[in-house]
Structure 1
């Protein structure tokens, strides 16, 4: 692409199969997705001790980092969705990769904090899920 733009559908989460060597497979069916990188702010502001009545400059430092991936779309029956549902039912941690096109890959332990199936009477069953990092993730920049 001449503009350097990436298609949203290439923002992916891949679920690991837990084997050795581990194989990661795209979670198929996701139509809407987002990946959030956030950090809390720790206030380090201290008034000037020699001029306590003077202006106070707010200062901060980074606190707790949070990484979450959310996706929703068609529930496609298959091995990857079955494995995901096993993890959701058992509330277990599993390995996954989030691939951010043009940036890189975040790999490590994840768990599902929210999972929902939905469906209209005449439509297909859909799902939505929120994945939260369970440990420090490894980031590999896109080459």
Structure 2
């Protein structure tokens, strides 16, 4: 078996847009030591009977009704980005975001996201203020191949 090609965690980055026209996407996530993107689908289920053998158990068939994406990150709270995150959360407004994956053939997911969770914590053990963020998609998310 051949060894797979892997990438460092720094090849995954979150780039919120600035809302200008044309929009500028610059990384505002300094300090995050963990980040991720996940996708989910809500479905509806139907039990479909066997017409030739109605006594047989039916098979469940599913239809995707809605798709959603969640972006998360956590790490140390970089003072340089505090006002950005605070203002975005307090606005309640969506922002265009790119989630860049710097693979051998790079690309990015893009969509409108709401900052739905902005958590600050601190403890004596590590002595630093920590941040935890969660973004929820607000509409479709697309994939673009190529550099952002």
Alignment TM-score, normalising by the size of structure 1: 0.86
Equivalent residues in 2 for 1:84-99, closer than 5 Å: 84-99=85-100
Tell me the number of residue pairs that the alignment of Structure 1 and Structure 2 aligns: 141
Q: Is the 8 A contact 2:85 2:118 kept in 1?
A: no
Cα distance in 1 for partners of 2:82, 2:23 equals 17
Structure 1 residue runs of 5 or longer lacking an equivalent are none
**Do structure 1's residue 54 and structure 2's residue 56 form an aligned pair?**
yes
Query: Counterpart of 1:15?
Result: 16
How far residue 44 of structure 1 moved from its aligned partner, in angstroms, is 2.7
Q: CA RMSD in A?
A: 2.1
- Inter-CA distance 10–81: structure 2 relative to 1 (3 Å threshold): farther
Cα distance in 2 for partners of 1:82, 1:37 equals 28
Query: Counterpart of 1:136?
Result: 140
- Inter-CA distance 41–137: structure 2 relative to 1 (3 Å threshold): same
More strand by share: 2
Cα distance in 2 for partners of 1:19, 1:81 equals 20
Query: Counterpart of 1:115?
Result: 118
SS at match of 2:139: coil
How far residue 40 of structure 1 moved from its aligned partner, in angstroms, is 2.1
SS at match of 1:86: helix
Which 4+ residue blocks in structure 1 deviate beyond 6 angstroms?
none
How far residue 3 of structure 1 moved from its aligned partner, in angstroms, is 4.4
